[in-house]
A and B are shown apart, each in its own frame.
Chain A
Amino acid sequence: MTSKQTLIVIGNGMVGHKFIELMVSKQATDQYNLITFCEESRVAYDRVNLSGYFSGKTAADLSLVEPGFYQDNNVQIYIGDKVTAIRPSEKIVVSAQGKEIAYDKLVLATGSYPFVPPITGKDAPGTFVYRTIDDLEAMEAYAQNCKTGVVVGGGLLGLECANALKNMGLDTHVVEFAPRLMPVQIDDLGGNVLKSKIEELGVQVHVSKNTTEIVSADGKITKMTFADGTELATDMIVFSAGIRPRDELARGCGLAIGDRGGIVVNDYCQTSDPDIYAIGECALYNQRIYGLVAPGYQMAEVAADQLTQSADSCFTGADMSTKLKLLGVDVASFGDNFGRTEGAKEIAVNDSVKGIYKKLVLNADGTRLLGGILVGDAADYGTLLQFTQNDIALPPHPEDLLLPPREGQPAGMGVDSFPDTAQICSCNNVTKGDLITAIHEQELTDIGSIKKCTAAGTGCGGCVPLVTTIMKSEMKKMGLTVKNHLCEHFAYSRQELYHLVRFHKIKTFSDLLKQFGTGLGCEVCKPAVTSMLAATWNDHILDQPHAGLQDTNDRFLANIQKDGTYSVIPRVPGGEITPDKLIVLGEVAKEFGLYTKITGAQRVDLFGARLEQLPDIWRRLIDAGFESGHAYGKALRTVKSCVGSTWCRYGVQDSVGFAIELELRYRGLRSPHKLKSAVSGCTRECAEAQGKDFGIIATENGWNVYVCGNGGMKPQHGVLLASDIDKETVIKYLDRFLIFYIRTADKLERTATWFTKLEGGINYLQDVIIHDSLGICDELEAQMAHLVDTYQCEWKAAIENPEKLQLFRSFVNSNAVDNNLAYVEERNQKRPATVEEKKVLSAIAQ
């Protein structure tokens, strides 16, 4: 047995990690001891989607490393340690923590660092770069006390960064040295369209600005000045003015370096020392640094092939085509985007009304597509790129590719016309043929499993629509249909069933099952359908046909707890409660021996009620003027409020009054999932309205409405739907928004998740809700009006109906109490006994 060689990878960014994944998949661990250094405190994560960190993604979501990957594959990783020197003559690397490790082969994947232009004051507190999660955390912490933020650099990364600042709630500006945004990818016309689209979104763009100084006072940034004499006030500045290769290790050990930096590599990604390779943004190939992830992955593949002698591939430069969504605006550029090929011709559409710019660059005879630029609508990017990359002949009227299809003719050319060799995912080099093979052989029928099996769409994600189209096309050929069925009993999605219920005026689950389903139903479809029926017809949910369809919480109008008892939450609209009512809650809790706790939603929760106690408890509560709080339902829970202008010296509007009005309007509203809301009386936002399904914040001129925020498991900031509107308009928009969500969301889908999936994002939602682009707003308001008019307190209706009260018995044939319930005292209240405590208690009893 030959002894293994040692291979060290310096750098655990996207490319370094990809290289190790490739080595593991090529079983290179039989040949090498793999060691890698990761100077950051986190293993490789998705830097391309870094701004997602501010719209709800956690560091864990961004991670590219499957938990246990390194351990399971015997790869030694040193996290938080960096290599400080390479001694090629001895073949040793030295780390900051003093490790000296001998290598046989070395791979440099050290990446790049953000370039900070030499401006006076560039190191002042409040200046940042945008590269790592640590950078983001520092920005986020500092931004807490800022109102305005400026990004220096209007390139791809700069606009991503502007998005991050905007998501942090800052008044955001972008400053670009060149006369247009994204100067490398798009031309002047495209730049203009992009600029106006971005400004519409509230980000100010300043082009042709050469920053000369950053001015601070009292240790804080106050403004920046420009060469043309103008200035811009700001509280913080982020530099995103390009990248520079991290080549310091290579310089230090005498490897060949380019004139303007970068580690020189050959076609095999080898440096001037044949045992040392360089891949990704630190490598200089043919006088060029490739600052995108796809070429980095290609280099990783070439180096891995070389080091395992598994294939004789070589790197011959890479396509810099790219498609991105920047601040919600689609931007793509591919091939010869500026028409530099001799004789190249252009076709362009510049629609400043819709904010769309598209340009195609054709060869001299107009039969081949050389490249193009798309701004505002990049849906055709995947298809167009295929024409360029695979040298496919263009259809007779290439201008049709830019415009909606002519009547009676299919648009452009479909995926079926692509050859099998067409590269669909350029990040992971997956061809159409690879996808088709995987789809057929492994019978893949959803995008998730395609990603898992082929890695397509797991890099930048730009090819996902094309992959989806190919999947659907292949499934069609296999005679399969794309499934999003509710469950095995209904071959329909929630949205489809909802329409069937409304259209066919179906009022019971059994009718729906009989007409459109099979079998008997289950715990998935029964509550989902009952929720739709409630949101449409608003019958009492304990009416006999609905009784057995509900989760236990809805069935017994209370929240089940771990020991099978229930908790009771009466409605306390807006969190406002009189002392007398508070006393009643205390008396009821004492009388029935209930544990009490204040909830996060400004109400009081009474725990430990047995089934048969619920009606008695509610009789007392209803007599005192309480009503059901619907805490048990997928329904509106609470509209939380801060104390507002009535008491607070900062409040500008009556937030309590408005919260109560809204809670009483939407109480009992059944929806795909629970709904939470809040109203804040001023911009200090004490009610945390931006973390709610719908939240309202008072302004000097009216109210701002935020929607689709979320706390809980995956916090997500709400998005601004409308600002400075009056109460009547708030209610109108909320009526429309809520019914639109109820009609279109999937089962158990919170508004935040629904919104993330909504194509077109906030612009689309505003079009539907504010501009009535679908022409359905009258209908949405009418449905809400019906629900508001037919509201009833479910508990009042229950205790007045002997048949409904029948349900609330622990035993059908006895008034005994469940003898499995046992409690111990803690902090002067009762709590359920643990299994061990129960054993002790029953031993004492005997």
Chain B
Amino acid sequence: MVQAVSTPQQTAVQDWVDVCALADIFPNTGVCALVQDKQVAIYRVQIDDQDQVYALDNFDPFSQANVLSRGILGDRQGVLKVASPIYKQNFSLETGQCLDNDEVSVPTYAIQVVEGRVQVSIA
């Protein structure tokens, strides 16, 4: 059972890039994909056997390192989030907003799952 999640600013014409199979990502973990030279953190969240996927920029603005795909996933008061593995700031998976500092956010990207394949658009 796969439910595609895409960001609100998604436009009609998307330049989707095939990244990997959904099965390549362990449930409730992230991987990093290289999409047109951009590092994109891709997360697979599984709730009651339902999969949701999210895409954030892999660059952690606090540590200045490409590490967000390696953070621990979870929720804070119901908001899905990832914690940076370096200094543990949390970012919303849906909006990229840093939950520990109002002034910081990371870019989000459109993502979908089509026939078991994960696709990302950074257009």
Residues of A within 8 A of B (CB): 488-489, 519-523, 525-527, 544, 547-553, 555-556, 560, 562-564, 806-807, 809-814, 816, 818, 820, 835
Query: Contact partner of A544 among B26, B33, B34, CB < 8 A?
Result: B26
Question: Does the CB pair A812–B32 fall under 8 Å?
Answer: yes
**B15 located at the interface, meaning its Cβ lies under 8 Å from any Cβ of chain A in the complex:** no
Can you name 25 A-B residue pairings with CB atoms under 8 Å?
A: A488-B76, A489-B74, A489-B75, A519-B75, A520-B73, A522-B72, A522-B76, A522-B81, A523-B83, A526-B74, A548-B29, A548-B72, A552-B71, A552-B85, A555-B70, A564-B70, A806-B24, A807-B26, A811-B34, A812-B25, A812-B31, A813-B20, A813-B34, A818-B66, A820-B59
User: Which of A526, A548, A809, A816 is within 8 Å of B27, CB to CB?
Assistant: A548
- Once A548-B28, A812-B42, A813-B19 are accepted as A-B contacts, the answer to whether A523 and B66 lie under 8 Å apart by CB is no
Chain A residues near B66 (CB-CB < 8 A): 564, 818, 820
Are A523 and B26 touching (Cβ within 8 A)?
no
User: B64 — which chain A residues lie within 8 A by C-beta?
Assistant: 835
Determine the main DSSP class of A at the interface with B: loop
Known contacts A520-B45, A835-B64; decide if A560 and B34 are in contact (CB<8 Å). no
State A552–B71 Cα separation when bound (angstroms).
Answer: 7
Query: Once the chains are docked, how many angstroms separate the CA of A245 from the CA of B116?
Result: 84
B8 on the interface (CB 8 Å rule)?
no
**Considering the complex, which residues of chain B in the window 56-114 have a beta carbon less than 8 Å from any beta carbon of chain A?**
59, 63-67, 70-78, 80-81, 83, 85-86, 88, 90
Cα A549 to Cα B27 in complex, Å, equals 11
Q: A520-B73, A523-B71 are known; give 8 further A-B pairs, CB within 8 A.
A: A523-B74, A556-B70, A564-B66, A564-B67, A807-B26, A811-B39, A812-B19, A820-B59
Instruction: Tell whether A488 pairs with B86 under 8 Å between CB atoms, given A810-B32, A813-B34.
Output: no
- Name the one of B45, B63, B74, B80 contacting A562, with C-beta atoms under 8 angstroms: B63
Closest B residue to A546 using CB positions: B26
Q: Which single member of A527, A562, A563, A814 contacts B72 (CB below 8 Å)?
A: A527
Q: Give chain B residues whose Cβ lies under 8 Å from the Cβ of A564.
A: 63, 65-67, 70, 86
Chain A nearest CB: distance from B48 CB in Å? 10
In Å, the complex CA distance between A807 and B72 comes to 14
Contacts of B42 in A (CB 8 A): 812
When the two chains form their complex, are residues A551 and B72 in contact, meaning their CB atoms are under 8 A apart? yes
Contact among B35, B70, B78, B80 with A552 in the assembled complex (CB-CB below 8 Å): B70
Give Cα A807 to B69, complex, Å. 12
| Cα A649 to Cα B31 with chains together (Å) | 56
Nearest chain B residue, comparing its CB with the CB of A834 = B64
CB nearest to B70 among chain A residues:
A552
B12 interfacial by beta-carbon distance below 8 Å: no
Report chain A residues within 8 Å CB of B88: 523
Residue ranges of B at the interface with A (Cβ–Cβ < 8 Å): 19-20, 24-29, 31-35, 39, 42, 45, 47, 59, 63-67, 70-78, 80-81, 83, 85-86, 88, 90
Task: Give which listed residue, B35, B75, B83, contacts A520 with CB less than 8 A.
Answer: B75
Shortest CB-to-CB span from B37 to chain A, Å, is: 8
Q: Which A residues touch B20, using CB under 8 A?
A: 812-813
Residue in contact with A560 in the complex, picked from B26, B33, B85, CB distance below 8 Å: B85
> Which of chain B's residues has its CB closest to A544's CB?
B26
- What's the least CB distance linking B95 to chain A, in Å? 17
Q: How far is the CA of A523 from the CA of B82 in the complex (A)?
A: 8
Give the chain B neighbours of A523 by CB distance below 8 A: 71-72, 74, 83, 88, 90
Chain B nearest CB from A563 CB (Å) reads 5
- B65: contacting residue among A521, A527, A563, A816, CB under 8 A: A563
Closest beta carbon of chain A to B57's beta carbon, Å:
12
B115 to chain A, nearest CB (A): 17
In the complex, which residues of chain A have a beta carbon less than 8 angstroms from the beta carbon of B25?
812
Cα–Cα, bound, A806→B25 (Å): 9
B residues less than 8 Å from A816 (CB atoms): 34
Task: Please give, as numbers and ranges, the residues of chain B lying within 8 Å of A520 by CB-CB distance.
Answer: 28, 45, 47, 73-75, 80
Cα A820 to Cα B86 in complex, Å, equals 16
- On chain A, the residues within 8 Å of B83 by CB distance are 522-523
CB-nearest residue of chain B to A816: B34
A185 to B14, CA, bound (A): 84
Tell me the complex Cα distance, A827–B25, Å. 41
The interface centre, meaning the residue of A519, A548, A553, A810 with most chain B CB atoms within 10 A of its CB, is A548
Beta-carbon nearest neighbor of A819 in chain B:
B37
- Asked whether, in the complex, the Cβ of B78 is within 8 Å of the Cβ of A519, the reply is yes
**B72 and A526 contact, CB distance less than 8 A:** yes
Shortest A531–chain B CB gap in Å is 13
Minimum CB–CB distance for B43 against chain A, Å: 10
Residue of A nearest to B29 (CB): A548
A814 touches B34 (CB 8 A): yes
| Nearest opposing residue in chain B for A818, CB measure | B66
A282 to chain B, nearest CB (A): 50
Tell me if A562 and B34 are in contact (CB < 8 A).
no
Distance, CA A553 to CA B29, complexed state (A): 14
A549 to B59, CA, bound (A): 21
